[in-house]
A and B are shown apart, each in its own frame.
Chain A
Amino acid sequence: MRRLTRYVALLAVGGLLLVACEADEPEDVVDPDEVEEPDEVEEPEEEPEEEPEEAEEPDDVPWAGYEGGEDGVLRVAYVYVGPVGDAGWTYSHDQGRQALEEAMGDQVETTYLESVEEGAPAERVFEDLAREGYHLIFGTSFGFMDSMAAVAPDFPETVFEHASGYTKLDNMGNYFGAMEEPRYLSGMAAASVSETGQLGYVAAFPIPEVIRGINAFALGAQEVDPDATVEVVWTSTWFGPEIELEAAESLLDRGVDVLAQHQDTPAPGQAAEERDAHWVGYHSDMSEFAADAWLTAPVWDWTDYYVETAEMVWDGTWEPREVYASMADGMVQLADYGPAVDDDTQAMVDDRAQDIIDGTFAPFTGPLYDQDGELRVEEDVEMTLEELLNMEWFVEGVIGEPGE
């Protein structure tokens, strides 16, 4: 959206210049015309019914269910926050969409809207899709949550599914994945490859999700090298290749030799490649962008969830869920290794992955100390999901502030 603002600003400056030039004419001041009384206000809407808007809590209309559609096709729409070509978050969801099409063939018809603004502007987008008759609508950014929740009660026959949020209504569920699991594994790989023990993290916003990822990465690294440190630089972007590149370079300047990241672009990898450093990507297999630097990445695979959800809607068995899926479920995974990760390391990390999948190991298990060396989690105690979702402190060995 910043880009749009910039265009508009440019246009505006152009407009201004022209007005300014014109205004220099000694204008015979045209008498400002009579104000046309705007009849538009009265126009929209015949039925002034009390609209059931903004219901935070479930209203009394239960989800009515998919009734086969006129043509027997389940129509599924995806609303993305970024461009499908971002190689990251949105790309991963679009891969899931394509996989859904493949899996269900003629039963489904999918569409997507990309680069949709978050917040109130998205309300219109979701409402339009629902009105156009889409049966199942996925919104894949946190900032869509309230818009979806505002629209959902008006369309009880449409199923809304929101990624990364927490609102549940009669016809709206939410889903997300335990990315800290593969994060931890990627930290192990990073520390194994690092020569200096100094790892860097190009971080997005100081919020629990990102902090959790950094901590998981650091803990994984410390399993391999107890002295490993993780330096954090915040970019305040989810998708900002230039800033992310600069942040990556500043970390490399400080002697970091492996970078990890949270944003949607492969920019940190390109910075690492240039300096012969190494890189842990995120979201999707980004190895093609910096093949030599590439180690691995924690990645999303939404396929199973999307197929499963669409089938439930098709069968009429869908009901709102709150899903936090794990490596065992397959929603979060570790990407393929790059050439820099040797066989021993791969075997070690794979073993750990198996422990996680088997449920015999959880990354956030005590004893855990914070940056000040204070014991935060007692020995053998596992942090609860609730605690993880609200994590706002860095573990020992992380360099940086868990806030701006």
Chain B
Amino acid sequence: MLGLERRSDVPAWIYVAVPVIAVLLALAVGAVFLVFTGHDPLTVYRVMIQASFASTFGFADTLVSATPLILTGLAALVSFRVKLWNIGAEGQLYIGAVCASGIALLIGESLPGWANILMMLAAGAFGGMLFILIPAIARAWLRTNEIITTLLLNSVALLFINWLIFGSRSFWRDPAAGQFPQGLRIPDEAYFPRWGATRVHLGLVIALLAVVAIWFVLNRTRFGFRMKILGDSESAARYAGVPVRLMVVAVLLLSGALAGLAGAADVGGFSRRLDPNSLAIGMGYAGIIVAALSRLNPGSVILVAIMLGGVRNAGTALQSLPERVPMEIAVMLEGAILLFALGSEVLVRYRIHWPWSKGPALDASPEEAEAT
């Protein structure tokens, strides 16, 4: 009978092979779709790689797109590690952007640029934390489902930033933009430095530092150790004397802060104003995908974010092909990659038991298998 059996030990190569195969399979499925819609998959993929990875400027823009994804990926990772499901990175990112742009506008030119930038980063993280505070407390003390609260707050945040820019004469809106509402530009001093002539900005450095910091917290601190225990079993954690409620709040706040930083990075490095159009492109939701594909490894988050950033950026390049491949193909590929990567996770942990292979059948755990 065909079935799955748990691997007793997972060979190292499989951690690399499975994701690679998953991406290849996703590309294969995408190819079938492309062929049926009358496009040449090889050309399409070549153009995508060319546009996003093979040219200096293309790759630079891929890094720009990857920057917020690294941070929102970390935000999801931190909470998922302890089986808390913060789906609200999207909203926390918006509010982080609101706070970061607000502080930059408040400070104006009264402080040197570096001080302004530091304040923006702090404000961004603070905004993200603020916005997850209520779900965190509700989860810790009332056991309210944080998936629902954080998810619903995303809509609140979206409506809020739209109202700030399009619906009111708020502090964030440019009073001079009479013809079409838009955010007020932050002062030049508060712009994040950029790398040469590219748009790669300080946010990337911050994101990479955040990766290192999160890795350190998870692996080298008591807090990280407690997270590990809590992630394994809440009752065990309680038994071991871990202050579970405080841990829940702290982890969610950390998650919110990371998402808020992504918002600050957008304001300082990319949009340079509170811009709902450039914020509301699903970077927070994509962070969930990044965390899932990275198998909750901080280091892998970087690679996954760069890959997804590249896939997304390739969308417009496809339109330059004479036969105009719809840019939605990029979104479709993103979905296919996710699906295969997650599906193949099973193969990391289990091996397929073919009907014709010998030995004990499925579902038997290794110990049981030995016993029989």
Contacts and interface: CB of A to CB of B under 8 A. Distances in A.
Interface string A2-45: 10110111011111101110110110011111111010110111
Contacts of A143: 180, 182, 277
A354 B293 CA distance: 65
Most B Cβ at <10 Å: residue of A8, A16, A154 = A8
A117 B292 contact: no
Contact of A166 (B179, B198, B271): B179
Nearest to B349: A25
Interface stretch (A201-209, A308-316, A328-336, A360-368): A201-209
A313 to B, nearest CB: 21
B166 interface: yes
A62 interface: no
Interface in A150-191: 154, 164-166
B300 A45 contact: no
Nearest to B178: A390
Interface stretch (A96-104, A119-127, A268-276, A280-288): A119-127
Contacts, number: 207
Contact of B179 (A25, A114, A132, A164): A164
Contacts of B272: 120
A31 B15 CA distance: 13
B1 to A, nearest CB: 23
A18 B178 contact: no
B334 A11 contact: yes
A19 B281 contact: no
Interface in B295-331: 295-300, 302-303, 306, 313, 316-317, 319-320, 327, 331
A111 B179 contact: no
A390 B228 CA distance: 59
Contacts of A116: 316
B87 A12 contact: yes
B196 A12 contact: no
B143 interface: no
B197 A113 contact: no
A359 interface: no
Given A11-B289, A111-B320, A124-B199, A51 B299 contact: no
Contacts of B339: 14
A45 B281 contact: no
A18 B211 contact: no
B316 A125 contact: yes
Nearest to B228: A29
Contact of B200 (A15, A44, A53): A44
A118 interface: yes
Most A Cβ at <10 Å: residue of B197, B219, B319, B342 = B197
A338 to B, nearest CB: 31
Contact of B166 (A16, A43, A236): A236
A115 interface: yes
Nearest to A8: B282
Interface in B150-183: 162-163, 166-168, 178-182
Grouping DSSP codes into helix (H, G, I), strand (E, B) and loop, the B interface class, with mixed when no group exceeds half, is helix
A283 B157 CA distance: 33
Contact of B61 (A26, A31, A124, A154): A124
A343 interface: no
Interface residues of A, number: 73
Contacts of B313: 124
Given A25-B349, A207-B181, A389-B179, A36 B303 contact: yes
A385 interface: no
Nearest to A386: B178
A111 to B, nearest CB: 7
A97 to B, nearest CB: 14
A33 B15 CA distance: 12
B345 A22 contact: yes
A90 B343 CA distance: 41
Interface in B187-211: 188, 191, 194-200, 204-205, 208, 211
B179 A207 contact: yes
A389 B282 contact: no
A47 B196 contact: yes
Nearest to B334: A11
A32 B215 contact: yes
Contacts of A123: 199
Contacts of A118: 277-278
B218 interface: yes
A20 B182 CA distance: 39
A47 B282 CA distance: 34
B297 A117 contact: no
Contacts of A48: 196
A208 B289 contact: no
Contact of A5 (B163, B271, B281): B281
B232 interface: yes
A45 B199 contact: no
Interface string B274-286: 0101101110011
Given A15-B291, A25-B349, 10 more contacts: A8-B285, A9-B285, A15-B292, A22-B345, A32-B219, A33-B299, A38-B302, A120-B278, A165-B179, A389-B178
13 contacts: A5-B282, A8-B286, A14-B338, A32-B219, A35-B299, A40-B306, A44-B198, A113-B320, A118-B277, A124-B199, A124-B316, A205-B180, A205-B181
Interface of A: 1-2, 4-5, 7-9, 11-16, 18-20, 22-23, 25-26, 29-36, 38, 40-41, 43-45, 47-49, 51, 53-54, 111-121, 123-125, 127-128, 131-132, 142-143, 154, 164-166, 205, 207-209, 236, 389-390, 392, 404
The 4 A-B residue pairs whose C-beta atoms are closest, nearest first, are A45-B196, A8-B282, A119-B278, A12-B288
